[in-house]
Amino acid sequence: MSGSGGGSWSVPVGDTCDRLTSDTALTSPSREVTSQLQPGSLLEIEIDNTAATPVVRAMFQGQVAGSITSSIIQKLVECVESGYTYIAEVTSVQGGACRVRVRAVA
């Protein structure tokens, strides 16, 4: 399955990791997983560095819900590798499409 990863990122002045946020759609969502989601569900953000290019995954109860893509995905990877933790809160689910808001955990 595929999905559109289009979305918007907000990088505050000073480019601080604790304020990095994104409103986006999951790319390649798993219908099996997204069918269990509802607005307000929280997904863990995980970085997979096994390939040449890092992949950012949104996980729900140990299963891949989909991937997060963006033009500043490298900044998100850098922040996670620097010790920041991010979650993706589901904002909408329609069929296999799932929109999330990615943000740092306070």
Instruction: Give the angle subtended at the CA of 87 by the CAs of 27 and 18, to the nearest 5°.
Output: 115
Check if the beta carbon of residue 53 is closer than 8 Å to that of residue 33: no
**pTM listed for this prediction:** 0.82
Tokens of 17: 């990791």
How far is the C-alpha of 36 from the C-alpha of 68, rounded, in Å? 18
Reading the block at residue 93, the tokens are: 């689910």
Domain ranges, ordered by start, for the chain? 7-104
CATH of domain 7-104: 3.30.70.2330
What are the backbone dihedrals phi and psi of residue 19, each rounded to the nearest 5 degrees, phi first? -110, 0
pLDDT in tens, 1-60: 444 445 554 444 455 898 899 899 999 999 999 999 999 999 999 999 898 888 999 999
